[in-house]
Amino acid sequence: MHPAVIIIIKRTAFQIAMQAAELFAETAVEAVKKSGQFSVAVSGGDTPRLFFHLLTKNPFHSRIPWEKTDIFWVDERCVPVNHPASNFGTARVGFLDLLPLPKQRIHPMPGELMPEQGAQVYEKELICFFELKNGNLPAFDLIFLGMGKDGHTASIFPGQPSLDEKNKLVLPVMGGEPNVDRLTLTLPVLNNAGKVVFIVTALSKERTIRKVLAGDPCDLPAVKVNPVHGELIWMITGDPALLGDA
Ligand code: 6PG
């Protein structure tokens, strides 16, 4: 496990969502002060919904320099945007549609394209946005991840080749629930961020969380998220007693 991992355990999802919104606001202000912009990548799934909602409300909404914020996704299901499984589609309503974000600062993954083509298009978008040369990696200021009971994160699933990808920034994969074609950022990109934050509701995932935080030398994708230069933070909704000395 990352030597400087920060673990925050709270009993309610609201407390964790507040922590996540505070970190988002704090990091955004810091990033804009330092570099004039803030780049963040978010996950799909259910857990981030409450956190997204809080970002549309004060005290967070007014603190965040939205006009200098660029939002990306860590993964996307290859379905039409109006499909209920679309991460971007579900983020539009009650989150993106309430933010004063210029359209060009919202960077959905092209889930409507054929997966291979979509991966290439998004990879090109990252190269252009981060002005990458000679195989450099994008350096997001902040990445929010979830984790499945099987230890997957983004759309990097156990036992898949994506676990060992060293060069590509975005891959077409298949799996998860729903078991569909997907696009995912790769581990080199996740591990090059300034801050990587897992937001996980322990319920039914306690065993996996304990394994990951204990740094079990296993092949769970979430164990392989160890930012090279950045901070790793786990925000967990659950009972500290159940999570052992996590
Ligand atoms: C996805 C997500 C995925 C998610 C986990 C946890 O597109 O499915 O990015 O990695 O974060 O599956 O999902 P929940 O938050 O719904 O538990």
Q: Which atom of ligand 1 is nearest to the CA of 201?
A: 17
Lowest mean pLDDT among 8-12, 117-121, 221-225, 238-242: 238-242
Query: Quick check: 6 pLDDT over 80?
Result: yes
* C-alpha of residue 99 to centroid of ligand 1, in Å: 23
pLDDT at 213 (0 to 100): 87
Q: Terminal CA-to-CA distance of the chain, rounded, Å?
A: 11
Over pLDDT 90: what percentage of the chain? 88
pLDDT at 84 (0 to 100): 94
- The arithmetic mean of pLDDT across residues 66-81, rounded, is 97
- The arithmetic mean of pLDDT across residues 73-102, rounded, is 96
> Which protein residue has the closest C-alpha to ligand 1 atom 7?
44
Q: Which atom of ligand 1 is nearest to the CA of 77?
A: 7
pLDDT at 203 (0 to 100): 86
Q: What is the pLDDT of residues 135-180, one digit of tens each?
A: 899 999 999 999 999 999 999 999 999 999 999 999 999 999 899 9
Q: Which atom of ligand 1 is nearest to the CA of 145?
A: 11
Query: Quick check: 243 pLDDT over 80?
Result: no
* C-alpha of residue 75 to centroid of ligand 1, in Å: 9
Q: Which atom of ligand 1 is nearest to the CA of 47?
A: 15
* C-alpha of residue 174 to centroid of ligand 1, in Å: 14
Q: Which residues are near ligand 1 (CB < 6 Å)? A: 43-47, 74-75, 87, 146-148, 152-155, 176
pLDDT at 214 (0 to 100): 85
> Which protein residue has the closest C-alpha to ligand 1 atom 2?
44
Spatial neighbors of 100 by CB under 8 A, at least 6 apart, are 66, 67
Mutate to test the pocket of ligand 1, among 153, 187, 203 (most ligand atoms within 8 A of CB): 153
Q: Per-residue confidence at 244, pLDDT binned at 50, 70, 90? A: low
State both tokens at 57: 């409300």
Lowest mean pLDDT among 4-18, 65-79, 204-218: 204-218
pLDDT at 218 (0 to 100): 78
pLDDT at 219 (0 to 100): 84
> Which protein residue has the closest C-alpha to ligand 1 atom 15?
47
Q: What is the pLDDT of residues 181-233, one digit of tens each?
A: 999 999 999 999 999 999 999 888 999 999 988 877 778 999 999 999 999 99
* C-alpha of residue 33 to centroid of ligand 1, in Å: 31
Mutate to test the pocket of ligand 1, among 50, 77, 147, 209 (most ligand atoms within 8 A of CB): 147
Q: How far apart are CA 53 and CA 16, in angstroms?
A: 13
pLDDT at 241 (0 to 100): 79
Q: How far apart are CA 94 and CA 106, in angstroms?
A: 15
pLDDT at 160 (0 to 100): 96
* C-alpha of residue 36 to centroid of ligand 1, in Å: 30
Please give the mean pLDDT across all residues of the chain.
94
- The arithmetic mean of pLDDT across residues 35-60, rounded, is 97
Q: How far apart are CA 78 and CA 40, in angstroms?
A: 21
**Length in residues, the chain:** 246
E strands in the chain:
6-10, 38-42, 69-73, 75-77, 106-107, 142-145, 170-175, 180-185, 195-201, 231-237
